[in-house]
Every structure is written in C-alpha cells, then in structure tokens.
Amino acid sequence: MFQKFKQKAPLLYFILSRIVTMIFLLFFLGFALFGLMELAPGDIVDQMMTQQLMASAQSGPNSSGATSGKENNFDEELLAKTREELGLDKPFYVQYFKWLKRVIVNHDLGVSLISRAPVSFLLKSRIMNTIVLNLISLVFITIFSFILGVYFSSKAGTRLDVGVTFFALFFHAFPGILLLILMQLAASITGLFPVTAYPDFPASAAPVKFTFSYIHHIFLPLFCSFLGGVGGTMRTIRATMLDQMGMPYIFALRARGISERRVYLNHAFRNTLNPYITGSANLLASLFGGSLIMEIIFAYPGVGRLTYEAVLQQDINLVLANSMFLSALVLAGMVISDILLAFVDPRIRYGADK
C-alpha cells in the first residue's frame, strides 16, 4: 500500500514522511532534555529551599528577639512531599511520558513550577516576539544577500569585490555575542539607540507610537543579526552565480545574442535558488539559536530569554515547552525548504522511480 502511494504521489509521500520524521525527532529531543535536566545538580525544590533561607536571613530576628531554629531547619519529609507533589520523585523517563500524555490527551503543557502560571500562557506571551524578530532578520538577510551576491558576481576580481568579500568574511567569523555587547556599549555611550530591545509600554496603549518605538529598539539587534548572516549567504549566492556563468548553456545563450541582463536574471539567477533554499533552513536555525543570546543581552521578551530563565530555575515544564517549540520551528523550516526545493527544481522527484 505504501509503495503504491509512493509511486502515485511521490511529493506528498515525501512531505508526510518528513512530518512523521519531525515528530519522532521531537519525541527523542524531549526525552534527551528530560535526561539532561536530571543530570543537573539539585532541583527546583532545592532552589525553593535556598530562596526561603535567604529570605529568612534577610528578615533578621523575629519580634521575640530570637529566630526559631525550627524555621531554618527544613523538614526532610516536607521536602520529599513537595517533590512528590511536583512529580520530581519519579525517574526522568516516567516524568517525560506523563508530560507527553498530558500534552497529547489533554493538550495541556502543564504549569510553571516557579510561578505556577500555565506554561501555554507564558509561551503565548513570548512566541510572537521571537517569531517577528527572526522573520524580519531572515527577510533582510535574504533580500540583501541576493542583491549583493548577484551584483558582485558580475564584479568578480575587482577591488570593490575583494573589499566587500573581506568584510563579509570578517563579520561572518566575528563572534556574535561580542558584537552584541559592543553594539550595546556603543548605544550606551552615544545614546542614539536604547540599550534594551523592547519598548517600555504595551502596544495596546499607543499602537502607532509602539511601532516606531519598536523599530528604534530592535535596530541594533537586527543590525548585528544582519552582519552575522548576510556574509555567508551572500558568498554562497555569489559563488553559485560565478559557477553558473561558466556553464556551457550560458555560452550558448550568449551566442544566440541574448542580452547579458537576461542571461544573469532569467537564467543564471534561477539556479541560485537551489543552494539558498537548502541553506535557508540552517540560516533559520542559526537565527533562532542566536536570538537566545540577543534576548538575554538586550532584555528582549522572547522565548529564548524565557528558556534561559527557566533553565536557571530548573523549571522543567517551561524548559521543555520552550525548547520543543523552537525545535519544532527549526524542523518545520527544514521541511518547508525541502518542499520549496522540489517545486523550484523540476528535476527533483522525491521518492519517484527513475
């Protein structure tokens, strides 16, 4: 049955197979995350105990003039009961399958072990911020990479091409975290841009003002993301264009008297889409990975910063939900890139018999 379906609809079979593969990858990723969190020293109950001890120490002696020893001596039975209530007394694989059952059957991501707020609510409040930021980065990197890559492929070997290639390599190899810190330091010294990446008032208060303020706040993080991503993508498109311009079909088109503009844009340019679409999934993954550092440095309220805070607090429900969301986005981007590649290049027939 599967073989007949594969022969009749190879592209649909490929899409469904990739979706199934993505589901299995997410399953094993969640299992690995639970295992890694189990290896971390201590747990969230220990952190609660530490925070309570610090609060008790800061409050000073009580009204009677002496602090009761019982207040600072945590009952082991109470700690064990707290772990049992949170489900932390079970092995990590039991916790994972209980969480997975709750997600699949009840469509419930659980509650944050620290704030006791629903994980879905915390995630929804940050999802759009992260998606919007990374999509804007992807669009700008794509547009400028194609424009610069195609243009400088026609200027190969010139001083301008050598200079731009040098700076593209420089910023591509420059550590992203250091670039973000330097940009934030420059913003602090000059005062031209905010040191945070998000306005200090909600969008509902003044939508138009919020839009312009948001653009002003995210300019520096976007600029850092652009500098880090455009170099490698531009060089890939430039190299592909140079490779295509040396192909026999290009000489044949020129011999037929077709203008150089049409040769570049109508023929050679179309063949640069394949390597870009293939690499766009990796670019998207690097953007989402880099946004974690950016959100921490620039105090941007996104999923990456929420994940970082959850890891520090060992809030396993929040860590797992955020990580699975980001991983699902990256895997979905890879599936979409493969589907687009099949539509762009008619020579590709996934699963079709040759």
For residue 281, the model assigns a pLDDT of 73
Digit-coded pLDDT (tens) for 33-64: 878 777 766 666 666 666 565 666 666 555 44
Contacting residues for 246 by C-beta, under 8 A, at least 6 apart: none
| Cβ–Cβ < 8 Å for 150, 239 | no
For residue 308, the model assigns a pLDDT of 84
Which among 160, 155, 165, 158 is positioned nearest to 242, based on CA atoms? Answer: 155
| Cβ–Cβ < 8 Å for 344, 273 | yes
For residue 63, the model assigns a pLDDT of 45
Provide the phi-psi class of 107: left if phi over 0, else alpha when psi is between -120 and 50, else beta.
left
- Greatest Cα pair distance in the chain: 101
Which stretches of the chain score pLDDT less than 70? 1-2, 40-79, 82-88, 345-354
Digit-coded pLDDT (tens) for 254-273: 888 888 788 887 778 777 77
What DSSP letter does each residue of 73-88 carry, written as one string?
A: S--HHHHHHHHHHHTT
Q: Which CATH number fits domain 126-344: 3.10.20.30, 1.10.3720.10, 3.40.50.800, 3.40.50.300?
A: 1.10.3720.10
For residue 51, the model assigns a pLDDT of 59
For residue 75, the model assigns a pLDDT of 60
| Cβ–Cβ < 8 Å for 224, 180 | yes
For residue 235, the model assigns a pLDDT of 85
For residue 110, the model assigns a pLDDT of 77
